[in-house]
Structure 1
């Protein structure tokens, strides 16, 4: 399967659809991999050239030697586009991927058309909380984090009704590199874009999950209010809204990108 050398890592990626179509790039959340976008890739590959990748330290992309920062994650995206000769793309990122999207909108808006920021915020959590989680996984591995993931990611009703799918997601989390996960926790500890998001000129769709305990609807509204050309859409879902409400998520995404 394909990977591209970007500085200190071989970044794993997947392409679907016709290269003549507009490019659409998906960025995964903390503790997941590009497979989280399977439903969206399948639905949108007829209309877009869909590019997915595993964030460094996740899935099949190794950790690398360089300390992870939000800027490093953003530069990985730009280098991936460069290596694949994609001049411009739409962007859709969820949670940590949404923070990467904000950084790109601030620092490289000319490389993107429309930007979708799902289940994210300009500041997620606290530095203390992220450093504590990073320390936990470095000491104990991924088991403790995976234990409570379903409750952070999905509503109780979805967990009860989709036990097999939820189990696959948590199993993937257990398999993630502890150092890769911890490094991204360190990056999120330092990531605060509240004073910068007003510089994003791109049209932006902010997607929130009504029942999301991690990045709340209020977080989404604050993000939307801080970006000059943004609107907010709230789905009946929790934190991983593209999996809990795939049809609604894909419909909102398609409608926004085709405007």
Structure 2
């Protein structure tokens, strides 16, 4: 399985940094952060299968069900096709899970890992069956209101910052079958107690008001990875890179400067 990867800039010779997005979002999720880092890194942004603005690589045309292990391997294949055999990876939510899996299964490709707002396990198989049922009944459009409350801290969307509304529009427009097929990966994903094997330099980054991937849970994850760092982004929820790109950039630069 290949994952859609696009070069954000042309800065060959600089350290490579790859960004991965959350379920139901597109590459644009990382635009504000990537733009601020474009002078220092060669940046690539990856879409989850079927999440790219319509093209031939939708998940519905490839595999009806997928695992996080397959997504991690697919990212490695896609980067090799770009001529990149090692890179730092920064993923949020499901893509944070992809990053943790890369660190466990493909440590030779990673120079560093930034795991944002992620978890060892997301919900239960039953909760994912319920989410999938909602999408089957009402499409991803039916998820927007509840998702907005999880993704953004209280008051953020009312500040008339366009990026948050663009991200929610992407959720509403993502192909339903692609969302369902990718969500199935989280139904079976479980790294509980398995992070102690990670040797890649790792930064865990949490949103202070994230109701799902709480700072407390992420700090406990960091405690399992020798030498890892943990930071919290204030006044943010799950999509901290949308709410506070400057703070996220500062943490990325400081972390990658030590690699």
Task: Please classify the TM superposition score into its range, dividing by the shorter chain length.
Answer: over 0.9
Distance 1:192-1:42 versus aligned 2 partners, 3 A rule: same
Match of 1:3 in 2: none
Output the aligned Cα RMSD. 1.4
Pairing 1:31-46 to 2, within 5 Å after superposition: 31-46=24-39
Could you tell me how far 1:12 is from its partner in structure 2? 4.7
The yes-or-no answer on 1:80 pairing with 2:78 is yes
Match of 1:50 in 2: 43
Could you tell me how far 1:164 is from its partner in structure 2? 3.5
The yes-or-no answer on 1:28 pairing with 2:21 is yes
Cα displacement string for residues 5-49 of structure 1 (whole angstroms, at most 9, x for unaligned residues) = xx4x67252331311101000000111011111111111111110
Could you tell me how far 1:121 is from its partner in structure 2? 1.0
Pairing 1:1-259 to 2, within 5 Å after superposition: 7=1, 11-60=4-53, 61-63=57-59, 64-66=61-63, 67-162=65-160, 164-236=162-234, 237-259=236-258
Q: Any unmatched runs of 5+ in structure 1?
A: 1-6
Structure 2: distance between partners of 1:199 and 1:24: 23
Could you tell me how far 1:75 is from its partner in structure 2? 1.2
CA contact (8 A) 1:120 1:219 kept: no
Could you tell me how far 1:59 is from its partner in structure 2? 2.4
Distance 1:86-1:12 versus aligned 2 partners, 3 A rule: closer
Give SS of 1:85's match. coil
Give SS of 1:148's match. helix
Structure 2: distance between partners of 1:203 and 1:161: 36
Q: TM-score, normalised by structure 1?
A: 0.93
Match of 1:4 in 2: none
Cα displacement string for residues 91-115 of structure 1 (whole angstroms, at most 9, x for unaligned residues) = 0000111000000000001101110
Deviates more, 1:138-147 or 1:72-81: 138-147
Structure 2: distance between partners of 1:12 and 1:231: 27
CA contact (8 A) 1:205 1:231 kept: yes
Deviates more, 1:248-257 or 1:16-25: 16-25
Runs of 4 or more above 6 Å deviation: none
Could you tell me how far 1:137 is from its partner in structure 2? 0.7
Cα displacement string for residues 227-252 of structure 1 (whole angstroms, at most 9, x for unaligned residues) = 12211100111100011111101100
Structure 2: distance between partners of 1:161 and 1:196: 40
Q: TM-score, normalised by structure 2?
A: 0.93
